[in-house]
Structure 1
Amino acid sequence: MQRLFLIPLLFASLAAPRASHAQSPDPADYLFPVCGVQGLYSANFGEMRPNHFHSGVDIKTDGVEGKPLVAVADGYVSRIAVSPSGYGRALYIALDNGTTAVYGHLSRFRDDLEAFVRSERLRQRRNKIDLWCTADRFPVRQGDTVGYSGNSGTSFGPHLHYEIRETATQRTLNTVRLGIVRPKDDLPPTIVRIRYFETDTVRGIPMHTERFACDAVKSDPHTYRLARTAPLEVGPCGHFVVEATDRRNGVANTFGLYRVTQYVDDRPVFEYRMDGFTFDRSRYCNAAAHYPLQVATRHEAIRLAALEGACTDFCPTLVGRGALRTQEGQSHRIRIEAEDDCGNISQIAFTVRGRGARPAACDSLAVVCDRRRTSTLAADEATLTLPAGALYESLCVRPERLSLRPKADTTLILLSPVYRLLDASVPLQKAATVRIRAFVPEKLRPHTTLAVIDRKGRLVNAGGRYDDGTVTARTTQTGPMLVVADTVPPTVRPLFADGADLSRAEGLAFRLGDNFSGIASCELYIDGEWSICDRYPMKGTAFHPFDTPRTQSRHTVRLEASDASGNRTVWTGMFYR
């Protein structure tokens, strides 16, 4: 009886992933989402970003806000969100064809949606809000105006972030590859450089040592060769990393690659392809890339091999996990193709010849971290605990106390030595728990946190709280860390004169700033009543729109701003309107 029950489950589990995205959307179902723009793009789907793949396309709005956005197909507004970060003002439309259109960084929603959001924010007394709607609440027809483009959230300039997702799975799709949006692009990718890393095993741990980096030279628009003409000597086992980038007609922006395929003697052994992903897979970009190169370059640095803990959803071809294995004196012809999402292809070919192994070195004092198990690293008064699966591959690590001093920052109080428990070149899929014991005066304890020293020597907040002599944080940040106290409150400066007549103004505007941990909350009260206050961290501003009739009377205003270290500033004033 058990076996009869398990067999249908097995077939269901095998079939389910295919069924979830077996049928591609029809491009003819969709309108272009923005009106009155040139149709240029600033980012494409699947670009490798810090700790995530870009989940949509960024459509330029000609440097301005307020371009009308339309429903790309029939459906209903299923979700509306307002946040100071991420997509900012965001709109989700569940379409009748089984997909969901996502619009990010809006300046405002259409009037009925804006009124609904306003009433809910006031009712809940929340500036950040996430609202879900039933199908009968806000139905839309293809071509209906649903909002206006903007620059809200984590945005560096006016544009529309646009996604198409499978509604059932929330798997976000490559809209360019599917033909839903069609950029003008006949420019093939640029292959910049090829690197080779030899792999050895020490104490059961894979060690990757870079043996050469060779620039690529363009032979014709689609073909590259290595700057070195002699065959490249490679070890018994290793892999390549390709540095590449892409461009499109009419814009100066760079874009990510859609596909990279490696052939050995004309046999495909590895392919990276970006057709779509669910959001629980997004952070695996740190394993698809060669992470230390990726964070240090403007190119994409794609690893042509899969680490033990990498997600292979993006690798439809994977022979021997992509590793190149050679015998001494044996030659192979390597060909690497790079394709963009518009179908333009570049390639590079070269010959490698096998040589003897060059053993990798490993510090005899290093500690083994097995990615399959929980590991704890310790150095004097500091510990770091990694849950199973936090690493993309097992490592040999030597935690240590450093004599390093961060760049001078007179706004922070340094309360511990600097510890390097994991190097900054090591990315994490799951958060680690870091604990550092330090003597902290009682008055500083509410403002104490951990800081990590970045590649430029600057201190960056890593979070954490003091308790019983120890500062503890759960963080995915790695690199040198220490305990600091941030006692400096946020700065608040009104962008209007206290007591001014604002009868003709659109709202109240403030300049906000913080020295280290960042603004955590911002609450506005007008005449003692809680009022909506939109925060724009990328601009360092906060804004309250006037949305009630003028009364030609005096009003009091109070703005309370708190940072993530428990410091608080209160500004009070008045205006006439």
Structure 2
Amino acid sequence: MQAQEVADTLDTVHAAEVSSVTEDTPLRNASFIPPFDFPITFSGNFGEIRANHFHGGLDFKTGGTVGKQVHALADGYISRIRVTHGSGYVLDVVYNNGYSTINRHLSAFVGEIARRVKDLQYEEESWEVEITPEPGEYPVKAGQVIALSGNTGYSFGPHLHLDMIETETDEYVDPLPFFMKEVKDHTAPRAEGIMLFPRPGKGVVDGKQARRAFPVRPAKTITAWGTVGAGIRAYDYMDGVHNRYGVKTVVLEVDGEEVFRSTVDRFAYNENRYINSWTHGQYMKSFIEPGNHLRMLHASNGNRGWVDIKEERPYLFVYTLSDALGNTSKVRFTVQGKRADILPVEHREKYVFKWDKVNYLQEPGLELVIPRGMLYDDAWLNYAVRADSGDIAFTYQLHDTRIPLHGACDLRIGLRRRPVEDMTKYYVAGVTARGGKYSIGGKYEDGFMKVRIRDLGTYTVAVDTVPPVISPVNQTQWGRTGRVVFKAKDKETGINSYRGTIDGKYALFGKPNSISGNLVCELDPEHVEKGGKHLVEMTVTDGCGNQTTEQYEFVW
């Protein structure tokens, strides 16, 4: 069976999967109260386009402040308690009505849970901890205060992030339908741009075989020939606020026939990276690449949403954009069929990776294995290798722009030079378009650095022997505020771990907000004796094991 036939077969199966999911698994007849006792507004909605993932829930605004009481949405029990650098203070609740929630970026837990978490942090000498209580250990009633809202973890401002998960399927679902009566919205989504994608070797747009972006109302006639795909950049808006949100439903019709529909209403965790196939930047594609099995996408034209422009006439494209409350808008534009030459893709056979096969690449000093299911479409690699006499390893350009993979794949890069004896100081570095390097990690093994990569980009090997830098923040205020704060930075492999002591005993330093990155210790009389001079020692270690220790005195 040819690759195209395999793709078409998968498309048929995929369409059937979409139909069964959307028609046979509706939201259960459950009811919830809002998490707050004040009018609810949102700073983010379900399914927004994020880097490598969908936004998994609703972001509730908290008036720009932390410490708002978060209420249980129904009767149930607390199932998981965590403190992480990514999501801050996190509380999972299983409800008796078939759903569970994850409450992220909290400022504090309450009652016995708060005490238990703190005790565990000191016991494990770690800011990041996790507790899985017994199902009946912490029951909750609808309206009960279960935590306080915050701005912890990877958070750009005070808010509550609420994920809602269908317990039976373990899938993320849109929480908004449960709060419809609390939300007033008459503002429809708005488009900000369109994009056309000529299929490699099979289509052209405005005479060229490269994707092109256009304004919503193009000033000039768009021409195309062969097979092209469309995409749209659009956002939803809500009454009374200035935030922009993801669009729930996008429908594309061509000449009055529907060719594609996306409905962002549910997804499984392992579907997250399919967002890299569905989107190009902030543009949502209206066609489905053969390796993309995201169930919220549905192509109805038998061609995975691709459009064949094969007559010299105008083709009318109409987008319909809808939000969760039924507000809709339309975008219309015309593509004029204009006969043009379509050249086959120039390629070297060994650098063509097939989406439905295992792919290997072996070059001097390089080994790459991409298992089947990692690529979303065939890839014609623009492979190149660069060498400098002083380099530790060659620099390998697997492709000139990033091609995302659905999972991690093994890459091995051979070392040409070893300027440092300690092999733990070497790391695989990704190389940006401007030549900057960032750490991917990796370990030395038999003359190679071995690492797992998630993108086909540009990679080399670098060495990091420079320890991190620790700086005190507002040191003169430590005693008055009861907060000891450090800033730790590392230019190459980043901060891997940290540990602080006060007067020789473990001190609970954490990273309450990962955007600022500050390491903070809230002084506690139970652990630090108040009324005198104290010695604080902070040790920070980077990704290659380089370590810095600094000591400071303060009075509290």
TM-score (normalizing by structure 1) = 0.84
Residue 447 (str. 1) matches residue 425 (str. 2): yes
Size of the alignment, in residue pairs?
Answer: 530
Structure 2 CA distance for aligned equivalents of residues 99 and 20 of structure 1: 19
| 1:32/1:181 contact within 8 Å kept | no
- Displacement over 6 Å in runs of 4+: none
Question: Counterpart in 2 of 1:427?
Answer: 404
| 2:75/2:140 contact within 8 Å kept | yes
Q: Which amino acid aligns with 1:359?
A: I
Deviation at 1:163? 1.6
1:568 equivalent among 538, 547, 556: 547
| 2:509/2:520 contact within 8 Å kept | yes
Q: Give the direction of change, closer, same or farther, for the CA distance of 1:250–1:319 in structure 2 (3 Å limit).
A: same
Q: Give the direction of change, closer, same or farther, for the CA distance of 1:442–1:190 in structure 2 (3 Å limit).
A: same
Residue 335 (str. 1) matches residue 311 (str. 2): no
What CA deviation, in whole Å up to 9, does each residue of 1:61-112 have, x standing for no partner?
Answer: 2222212211121111111111112x11111111111111221111111132
Residue 541 (str. 1) matches residue 525 (str. 2): no
Q: Which amino acid aligns with 1:416?
A: A
| 2:201/2:345 contact within 8 Å kept | no
Q: Which amino acid aligns with 1:315?
A: L
**Match runs of 1:173-212 below 5 Å:** 173-179=173-179, 182-201=182-201, 209-210=209-210, 212=212
Residue 509 (str. 1) matches residue 485 (str. 2): yes
Structure 1 CA distance for aligned equivalents of residues 136 and 24 of structure 2: 26
What CA deviation, in whole Å up to 9, does each residue of 1:234-285 have, x standing for no partner?
Answer: 3232211112223333333322111111112322221011001111111111
Gaps of 5+ in 1: 1-12, 203-207, 218-225, 295-299, 406-412
Structure 1 CA distance for aligned equivalents of residues 123 and 240 of structure 2: 46
Structure 2 CA distance for aligned equivalents of residues 452 and 419 of structure 1: 10
Question: Counterpart in 1 of 2:79?
Answer: 78
Q: Give the direction of change, closer, same or farther, for the CA distance of 1:459–1:268 in structure 2 (3 Å limit).
A: same
Residue 394 (str. 1) matches residue 394 (str. 2): no
Q: Which amino acid aligns with 2:383?
A: P
Q: Which amino acid aligns with 2:482?
A: E
Higher mean C-alpha deviation, range 457-466 or range 178-187: 178-187
Residue 319 (str. 1) matches residue 298 (str. 2): no
1:306 equivalent among 288, 306, 330: 288
Higher mean C-alpha deviation, range 62-71 or range 507-516: 507-516
1:486 equivalent among 464, 474, 478: 464
Could you say what the CA RMSD is over the residues aligned between the two structures, in angstroms?
3.0
| 1:491/1:569 contact within 8 Å kept | yes
| 1:198/1:239 contact within 8 Å kept | yes
Secondary structure in structure 2 of the residue aligned to 1:313 = coil
Q: Which amino acid aligns with 1:237?
A: T
**Match runs of 1:254-265 below 5 Å:** 254-265=244-255
What CA deviation, in whole Å up to 9, does each residue of 1:461-500 have, x standing for no partner?
Answer: 22212333322211213322221112221222234659x9
Q: Which amino acid aligns with 2:353?
A: C
1:552 equivalent among 531, 534, 548: 531
Structure 1 CA distance for aligned equivalents of residues 340 and 455 of structure 2: 34
Structure 1 CA distance for aligned equivalents of residues 23 and 249 of structure 2: 22
Higher mean C-alpha deviation, range 95-104 or range 442-451: 442-451
Q: Give the direction of change, closer, same or farther, for the CA distance of 1:251–1:451 in structure 2 (3 Å limit).
A: farther
Structure 2 CA distance for aligned equivalents of residues 103 and 46 of structure 1: 17
Deviation at 1:212? 4.6
Q: Which amino acid aligns with 2:408?
A: A
Question: Counterpart in 1 of 2:242?
Answer: 252
Structure 1 CA distance for aligned equivalents of residues 54 and 478 of structure 2: 47
Secondary structure in structure 2 of the residue aligned to 1:442 = coil
Structure 2 CA distance for aligned equivalents of residues 240 and 548 of structure 1: 62
Question: Counterpart in 1 of 2:345?
Answer: 362
Secondary structure in structure 2 of the residue aligned to 1:114 = helix
Q: Give the direction of change, closer, same or farther, for the CA distance of 1:94–1:414 in structure 2 (3 Å limit).
A: farther
What CA deviation, in whole Å up to 9, does each residue of 1:267-310 have, x standing for no partner?
Answer: 222101100111111111111112xxx0xxxxx30111000001
Question: Counterpart in 2 of 1:408?
Answer: none
| 2:475/2:485 contact within 8 Å kept | no
Q: Which amino acid aligns with 1:442?
A: V
Question: Counterpart in 2 of 1:31?
Answer: 33
Structure 1 CA distance for aligned equivalents of residues 292 and 140 of structure 2: 41
| 1:391/1:428 contact within 8 Å kept | yes
Question: Counterpart in 2 of 1:138?
Answer: 138
Question: Counterpart in 1 of 2:507?
Answer: 531
Secondary structure in structure 1 of the residue aligned to 2:244 = coil
Secondary structure in structure 2 of the residue aligned to 1:430 = strand
Residue 377 (str. 1) matches residue 356 (str. 2): no
1:22 equivalent among 8, 22, 25: 25
What CA deviation, in whole Å up to 9, does each residue of 1:388-424 have, x standing for no partner?
Answer: 111101112132114799xxxxxxx963342201333
Q: Percent identity?
A: 27
Question: Counterpart in 1 of 2:262?
Answer: 272
Secondary structure in structure 1 of the residue aligned to 2:320 = strand
| 1:74/1:95 contact within 8 Å kept | yes
Q: Which amino acid aligns with 2:230?
A: F
Secondary structure in structure 2 of the residue aligned to 1:512 = strand
Structure 1 CA distance for aligned equivalents of residues 213 and 436 of structure 2: 29
| 1:525/1:558 contact within 8 Å kept | yes
| 1:554/1:575 contact within 8 Å kept | yes
Structure 1 CA distance for aligned equivalents of residues 543 and 104 of structure 2: 26
Secondary structure in structure 1 of the residue aligned to 2:295 = helix
Q: Give the direction of change, closer, same or farther, for the CA distance of 1:519–1:21 in structure 2 (3 Å limit).
A: farther
Secondary structure in structure 2 of the residue aligned to 1:187 = coil
| 2:36/2:71 contact within 8 Å kept | yes
Deviation at 1:357? 5.6
Deviation at 1:51? 0.5
